Amino acid sequence: MNENTKIDNLKKDINNAKKVVFLTGAGVSTHSGIPDYRSKHGIYNGISESPETILSEATLFNRPELFYNFVMENMYFPNAKPNQIHKKIAEICNKKGVLITQNIDTLDSKAGNKNVVEFHGNLYNIYCTKCHKPVSYEQYSSNYIHKECGGIIRPGIVLYGEQINPEVLTKSMKVMENADLVIISGTSFVVYPFAQLLAYKEPNAKVWAINKTEIPAPGVNQIIDDALNIFENL
């Protein structure tokens, strides 16, 4: 089947679906100028210690400067704007779908998507680990120590070694069970438990993947292309 036929079939499936769920990762935001993680231009390329070490709870508390400098220099892009992929997903979700994203950049919400599950949290949910008060990005960008109580400030993202919020996990599983169409994009789909969500889909639900590389999942209709090209044609 050629790519044009696949795109036509995907369009038909979107039109016919009652409930669509999107599963997305960092590849969706690269067109907004936010680097991914593990590619040759990704934020983990050439770092002095493993990401599992730097982005861990132990480093957050025991070497807060290392954690803070890495996050501030590599992960925050406050001026980034949603691209056409975010916008198209938002348009479909607001009609009849839900997005479950690994992305922590809030661009999906900025695109106007009302139905977003942030599987790994987001960078702008910032709070003090001691007094638990919320902290603005502006305040955090000037210092990781909370002026009011001296506690360490952190972003509300899931760090290595931390568990996914149980409520988020339960909600994601229910979303998968209720969908008759699943569209995966911008993710290598090898990070667990995110990749495990496919196990909760309704047995007859159709599954599509739009990616530059094939994902390791059986029974998936795969379009191997830059997602931006495809979403601009949906």
E strands present in the chain: 20-24, 97-101, 116-118, 121-128, 153-157, 181-185, 206-211, 221-224
Of 86, 120, 132, 146, catalytic: 120
Q: Which of 164, 139, 168 is nearest to 154 (CA)?
A: 139
Sign (positive or negative) of CA dihedral 140, 132, 163, 63 = positive
Residue 233: both structure tokens together: 């044609």
| Rounded Cα–Cα distance for residues 107 and 76 (Å) | 12
DSSP letter, residue 200? G
Give the 3-state secondary structure of residue 103.
Answer: coil
Q: Is 120 a residue of the active site?
A: yes
Sign (positive or negative) of CA dihedral 162, 24, 216, 41 = negative
Q: Which of 198, 44, 26 is nearest to 120 (CA)?
A: 26
Residue 48: both structure tokens together: 């002095």
Just list the catalytic residues: 120
